[in-house]
Amino acid sequence: MLKRFHIDTETVLYGVIGRPVSHSLSPVMHNRAFAKVGLNSIYLAFDVTDISSALAGIRGLGLKGASITIPHKVTALSFLDEIDGKAQQIGAINTIVNHQGNLRGYNSDCYGAVKALTAKTTLWEKKVALIGAGGAARAVGFGLLWEGARITVFNRSIKEGENLAKDMGVNFCPLAEFAQDSHQIIVNTTSVGMSPNTQAMPIAPSLLAKEMVVMDIVYNPLRTELLRAAKKAGCTTVDGVDMFVYQGVAQFEKWTGIKAPVKVMRKAVLEVLQ
């Protein structure tokens, strides 16, 4: 039973900072979780261009925490007081905790990706094609690397792809040269296929093979064109909902110190997507 929701002078404020954020389901997920556990808290979406001003606003207004999304996951690092060791190695954050004006950065995307994939397959020594080289790719890539996966980075921008591959100590290949052989797992970390451009795919359907596990971190729509093509090819598919929910679970627990209502959070997201 969800607790009665109310807002007053004691309400604690959280939010997601990014651009665009109109598609984000973080507000519905976290607000449902706050209501379930009876916290007087609210979570809003902030469409932000100037990340430095936004983070100053967190301090000034006393937000207790925030989610950081595209395109600020890397640039936000420069404006924090502390950065968690794993987030420092990844080079990107998606979570901020405000401790009395001291902003600490964390990355829960890596946890979410690993949790979602290991529900369907093992990662140790698996050959993974990581598509993308942005903040999400960094988080997912390092998470899989720490689990023993053998990764090749594929990206349209050669410079960005080579930089990520160098930071991770893995191989790089231009996305245009993607080939079907040798990949056991494919993970799309780009926004290709995200609403409203739902017909787009990062690779051609002909490059998918039955033995593959294919994950798309895009969760809106629930079944991207990549996942539809992978399903048709007989692949095992992993949608972006579990990664999204589990990274949110880690955020919720970091902010509140309370065990997150995982089932309630997943249900809230799926209700909107379905």
Question: 247-267: per-residue pLDDT in tens?
Answer: 999 999 999 999 999 999 999
- For strands 95-99 and 65-68, give the pairing: antiparallel
Q: Is the pLDDT of residue 2 over 60?
A: no
The residues that bridge with 215 in the sheet, in sequence order, are 187, 238
Catalytic residue IDs = 73
- pLDDT of 184 reads 96
User: pTM, whole model, 2 decimals?
Assistant: 0.88
- pLDDT of 4 reads 54
Q: Tokens 């807002």 appear where? A: 7
Cβ partners under 8 Å of residue 224, min gap 6: 188, 193, 194, 198, 201, 216, 218, 239, 240
In terms of Cα–Cα distance, which of 34, 15, 37, 18 is closest to 26? 15
In terms of Cα–Cα distance, which of 131, 128, 139, 179 is closest to 155? 131
Cβ partners under 8 Å of residue 141, min gap 6: 130, 151, 153, 164, 168, 170, 189
Q: Over the Cα atoms of the chain, what is R_g?
A: 18
| pLDDT confidence band for 23 (50 / 70 / 90) | confident
Distance of CA 94 to the CA centre of its chain: 8
In terms of Cα–Cα distance, which of 35, 24, 31, 32 is closest to 68? 24
Q: Is the pLDDT of residue 1 over 90?
A: no
User: Residue 236 in 3-state DSSP?
Assistant: strand
Question: 144-188: per-residue pLDDT in tens?
Answer: 999 999 999 999 999 999 999 999 999 999 999 998 777 999 999
Tokens representing 99? 């401790």
- pLDDT of 232 reads 97
In the chain, the domains with their CATH numbers are 12-107+242-273 (3.40.50.10860), 110-238 (3.40.50.720)
* Angle between the N-to-C axes of helices 158-168 and 135-146, in degrees from 0 to 180, rounded to the nearest 10: 30
Stated as kind and residue range, the H or E segment containing 136 is: helix 135-146
| pLDDT confidence band for 197 (50 / 70 / 90) | confident
CB neighbours of residue 61 within 10 Å: 10
